[in-house]
Structure 1
Amino acid sequence: MDKGYEDAKPVIAALKSKGVSAIGAAGFCWGDAKRKVVVKLASSTDIQAAVLLHPSLITEDEIDNVSIPIAILVAEFDEYVPAELFKQFGEKLSTKSEFESFVKIYPGVAHGWTVKYDAEGKSAVKSAEESHLDMLNWFTKHVK
C-alpha cells in the first residue's frame, strides 16, 4: 500500500502542475493492496474525493483516518468482507460532520460486480451501470 501511495504522489503533483485543481480517486479491488491506496489517499489532502468499489480488507483504523468525502459501494454477497461491516463503517463515517460520506449496498450482487459481470444478464448490467453512475455523480458533486 505504501509503495502505491508513494507512486501516486508524483502523478497527483504532475496533474496539479498542469493546472488541475481537484482530483478524485476510485479504488477497485484488483487484488493485493492496490485497493488500499485510495483509502490512504482519502486520509490525506492529496485528493478531494474518493470512491471505493467492492473493497476488501479495509480496516476500522483506515476508515477512522479518512478525512475527505468518500463513497463506499459494496456487494450484498461479498466473500471477502460482509456488507454488515461496511454498514458499521458507514455509521462511523456519518459521525464526521466535516465531510460527506456514503455507503451503498447493492442487492443481489457479489464481489467484483462493477467490473466482472455477465454482459448478457440484465440484472448484472443494471447493477454495474448503477454503480458507475453513483461513482460519477459522487465525483461530479465533490471534485470541483
Structure 2
Amino acid sequence: MSEAGVATKAPETDAQDNPTIPGDTPAQSGPSMGQHCTTDRPTPAGEAPKGEIRKLGGVDIYLAKPDEYPSNPSKLLLLLTGGTGLKSTNNQIQADKFAEEGYVVVMPDLFEGDPAPNAGATVPDPESQSSFLDMFKLKAAETAKSFLIDMWLARHTEEKVWPILEKVIHAAQGEFADAIGNGGGIYAVGYCFGGRYVLLLAAERPVAAQSGWTGAQKPADEESGEQAKKGPYIKAGALAHATLVSPDDFQGLKAPVSMVCVENDPLFPDEVRMAGEDIMSKENLEHEVQVYPGVPHGFGVFGDYDDPNIKEAQATAFMQMLDWIEEH
C-alpha cells in the first residue's frame, strides 16, 4: 500500500503474501496482524460482561451503565467496535470499563447480526503450530478467510452503517438526554472498523455525502445556492488503530480527536496518518496522535496477551482515550 489512499484491503487479505503466523509477537512486520480486527484475544480470567443487550432505536445495542446511574450524573459515550461486533465478550467488557469511569456506554451492532467471519475465535500463538503441515493449513485457512472478509466488507459499507448510527444517536438523544446534557454532547470511541466512523461523526459534512439523506426534497440552503451540511454529531472522539481510513476522512473535522496508532501499521499506513495530521494541523483542529511501537494492530481492544509490553501498552492506550474524552 504505497499510495496515500484508503487502506482498502481486508485485515487478512495480505496474509497470503506474508509467511508470518499471527500471534503475540509484538514486532511482526506483516499485515497478518489484521487478524486482531476480526478475532478476539483470550479474555483475562475473572472478567465477565456486566451490561445488557437490548434495542435502542430499533438497533441491537450493548448497554453498560455506571452503578450509580441515574441517581448520579453521567455522560453518554458511543463505543464503535471492530469486526468482532456486539456479542464479543471483550468488546462488552471494554464498554464496562468505560462505564466504570462514569459513562453510559451505548455499543451498537454496526453489522446487523453479521460479525466478521471467524469473529469469536481466539488468535493462535505461534508456539501452538507444532509442524510445517499445521502452519500450511493455517495459511490456507487465512487465504480462504481473506476472501470471506472481502465479501463481508462489501456487505457493511458506509451506506449500510451510517443509517444505523443515525438511528442510535436519535434514540439516545431521547432516552439518555440527561447524560448527553450533562456532558454537553455525545462522546465517541472507536476501534479498528469503528475508528473511521468516529472521524465521520466528528466531521461537518455535506448532506449529500451522508447516506441518511434521501434527496427527496432539497434543503433550504441548497435552494439558495449553498450546500447543506450536518454534523458534527459528537463533542469529542478517540480512535484506536482504525482501518479503511483515507485522507479524505479527515476533511471537515470539527470535534477534537485523539488517535491511538500502531507503528508500521499496514491497515492504517503512515502516509495516511501523516496526511491526516497535516489536514488537522492546517485546520487548527485540536488533536493528539500517539504511535505505539512494538505492538500488533488491534492491541488496544480489551484482551489478554502473554507479552507484558503489549499489556502495558493496552492499559496506556485506554487511559489516553479516557483522558481525552474526560478533558473535553
Higher share in strand: 1
Alignment deviations for residues 54-85 of structure 1 (CA, whole Å, 9 cap, x no partner): 01221111111222111111100312222343
Give the aligned partner of residue 197 of structure 2.
37
Larger mean Cα displacement after TM superposition, 99-108 or 6-15: 6-15
Give the aligned partner of residue 323 of structure 2.
137
Q: Does 1:121 align with 2:278?
A: no
Report how far residue 13 of structure 1 moved.
2.2
Q: Does 1:47 align with 2:47?
A: no
Larger mean Cα displacement after TM superposition, 5-14 or 43-52: 5-14
Higher relative contact order (CA 8 A, sep 6+): 2
Give the aligned partner of residue 186 of structure 2.
23
Give the aligned partner of residue 78 of structure 1.
265
Runs of 5+ consecutive residues of structure 1 not aligned to the other structure: none
| Residues 1:2 and 1:27: Cα distance change in structure 2 (over 3 Å) | farther
For residue 59 of structure 1, what is the amino acid of its counterpart? S
| Percent of paired sites with the same residue | 27
- TM-score if structure 2 supplies the norm length? 0.39
Q: Matches of 1:74 and 1:107 in 2, distance apart?
A: 9
Q: Does 1:93 align with 2:276?
A: no
Give the aligned partner of residue 11 of structure 1.
168
| Residues 1:36 and 1:2: Cα distance change in structure 2 (over 3 Å) | farther
Question: Are the equivalent residues in 2 in contact too, given 1:117–1:124 (CA < 8 A)?
Answer: no
- TM-score if structure 1 supplies the norm length? 0.84
Aligned residues: 138
Q: Does 1:2 align with 2:159?
A: yes
Give the aligned partner of residue 107 of structure 1.
293
Alignment deviations for residues 79-123 of structure 1 (CA, whole Å, 9 cap, x no partner): 2222343133112212222x4111111111121111276533210
Q: Does 1:67 align with 2:230?
A: no
For residue 299 of structure 2, what is the amino acid of its counterpart? W
Q: Matches of 2:160 and 2:259 in 1, distance apart?
A: 23
For residue 243 of structure 2, what is the amino acid of its counterpart? S
Root-mean-square deviation (CA, aligned residues, Å) is 1.9
Give 3-state SS (helix, strand or coil) of 1:86's partner.
helix
Q: Matches of 1:84 and 1:110 in 2, distance apart?
A: 18
For residue 241 of structure 2, what is the amino acid of its counterpart? H
Runs of 5+ consecutive residues of structure 2 not aligned to the other structure: 1-157, 204-230
Q: Matches of 2:264 and 2:296 in 1, distance apart?
A: 5
Question: Are the equivalent residues in 1 in contact too, given 2:237–2:255 (CA < 8 A)?
Answer: yes
Question: Are the equivalent residues in 1 in contact too, given 2:195–2:241 (CA < 8 A)?
Answer: no
Q: Matches of 2:234 and 2:264 in 1, distance apart?
A: 30
